[in-house]
Amino acid sequence: MTRTGLKFLTATLPNGLTVLGEPDVDAQTIAMGYFVKTGARDEDPRDLGASHFLEHMLFKGSAHVSAAELNARLDALGGNVNAFTSEEATVYHAAALPERAPDLLAALTELMTPAMRESDLEPERGVILEEIAMYADQPGVRVFEALRDAYWRTAAGEAHPLGHNVLGTNETVGRLNAETLRAHFQARYGTGRVTLVVVGKFDWNDLLAQTEALTRAWPRTSFERTLGGHAPRPGLLTLQDDTLNRAHFAVCTPGLAANDPAREAALVLADIVGGENGRLYWALVDSGLADSADLSHTEFEETGAFEGGWSCDPDRAAETLAIFRSVLADVREHGVTEAEVRRARKRLAVSTLLRGETPSNRLFALGMDHLYLGRAFTLAESVARCEAVTPADVQGVLNRDPFGTVFVAALGPAETVRQLQLPA
């Protein structure tokens, strides 16, 4: 059976935990993950970085197992275990050989019941502060984080949850304590916000029985995410750094929410404009004006954004900004061609297939769709949705005029960024 012919199964355990599985008898591996519907956007501004800090603390052991024991158990499985935190989700995932599935599930579930010992707090705080410092040394990350914060703010300067920095700041991470992290965990890690997703070679009934036994004591608590409106506005944010030898740009325009029926059309549009062979590549990179240039579409629960950027010689900063705006203006005025849509939707379909080839990659598509939509798509359905996008669908996205409101952030030498401006 090909992976496009696979079906997935769902169940809700008595404690309220949702389990989603896609069994594949021909798979050589198994991948599983706990997808938690909480992220940086759900944090109090005084506690920025709490979700990410908590992610670190879950690897420090439970009340029954020390960090060393837990990590030894995970290492013995011969696979890989990792986690990540985003604006709207925290995911703990692992992969191993199918015969180790029961051990993998037991270890991953142990991870989800952290002890959060005071003695583990300071070492992890140090690790996270080093992580913040590391990204602060990367101009591309700095300008993008500044863009996110500025773009999502209101005209009055009020912060929006989607502008929260996932890592937090030195100040907020420096004052987070075990009590705050425990409260964060208790409020947001109830079964109503967690989904277990399993992909690969496994027995569905055995999985459900073991999961129910392991999670029977999990709290049923949940919480409602605050969804705030956002009125996009154009803008130019300039950041000066005379130590840099390049100018770095980050851009953001309004996009579509994860549950928007036109989500695939937005992805096709982003590929046409900012993909590896898109219009921005030919206008900026192939011409030798920029090192790289991209534009992608990011989905959130109630909104979305087209995000991208480029870097260039400071002397070409104003020129590249003008060219970027001209590319968007041309798409706004003339739309895209049928040939561009045909090529982009094929690339999207093929990339969807490639990501679905292995359980480890397929895991994320199933899990994130379920978190956002309350359902998931089979691989065949996902590919069909990509291939069904028409020029009219893409024009429908353009009719919402996403490229009419552009926010730009620029980081570079003072003399360079002072000269930048957006047309009135």
Structure tokens at 28: 């050589």
**Whole-number pLDDT of residue 405:** 96
pLDDT of residue 342: 98
Q: What is the mean pLDDT of residues 250-257?
A: 98
* Per-residue pLDDT, 5: 64
Cite the DSSP H helix spans in 335-378.
Answer: 338-355, 359-373
**pLDDT of the residue at 74:** 87
pLDDT category of residue 424 using cuts at 50, 70 and 90: low
pLDDT of residue 131: 97
Q: At what angle do helices 338-355 and 263-274 cross, to 10 degrees?
A: 110
Enumerate the H helices of 137-257 as residue ranges: 139-152, 170-175, 178-188, 204-215
Tens digit of each residue's pLDDT (9 = 90 or more) over 196-219: 999 999 999 999 999 999 999 998
What pLDDT was estimated at residue 155?
78
Residue 300: C-alpha distances to residues 4, 230, 310 (Å):
26, 12, 23
At 3 the pLDDT is: 59
Average predicted confidence (pLDDT) for the chain: 94
* Percent of all residues in the chain with a pLDDT value above 90, rounded to a whole number: 87
One fold for 3-215 and 235-418: yes
Looking at this protein, which amino acid is placed at residue 302? E
What is the pLDDT confidence band of residue 4, given thresholds at 50, 70 and 90? low
Query: From CA 181, how far away is CA 90, in angstroms rounded?
Result: 14
Please give the average per-residue pLDDT across 353-375, as a whole number: 93
Amino acid, res. 147: L
**pLDDT value of residue 205:** 97
| pLDDT tens column, 377-387 | 999 999 999 99
pLDDT digits (tens, 9 = 90+) for 41-89: 999 999 999 999 999 999 999 988 898 998 898 888 888 899 999 999 9
Domain 235-418 is classified in which CATH homologous superfamily? Metalloenzyme, LuxS/M16 peptidase-like (3.30.830.10)
For residue 334, is pLDDT > 80?
A: yes
Taking 80 as the threshold, does the pLDDT of residue 265 lie above it? yes
Query: Looking at the predicted structure, is the pLDDT value of residue 167 above 50?
Result: yes
Averaged over 20-31, what is the pLDDT? 95
**Placement of tokens 């809700």 in the chain:** 12
Contact 408, 422 (CB under 8 A): yes
Instruction: Say if CB 419 and CB 318 are below 8 A apart.
Output: yes
In this structure, are residues 159 and 40 in contact, taking their beta carbons and an 8 Å threshold? Answer: no
**More confidently predicted of 3 and 67:** 67
Average pLDDT over residues 346-363: 94
Q: Which two tokens stand for residue 362?
A: 């397929």
Kindly indicate whether the domain formed by 3-215 is annotated with CATH number 3.20.20.80: no
Domain positions in the chain: 3-215, 235-418
Residue 1: predicted pLDDT: 43
Residue 2 has pLDDT above 60, yes or no: no
pLDDT at 226 over 80: no
**pLDDT, average across residues 103-118:** 94
Sequence-distant (6+) residues with CB within 8 A of 164 are: 40, 41, 43, 45, 48, 87
Find the mean pLDDT for residues 16-31: 95
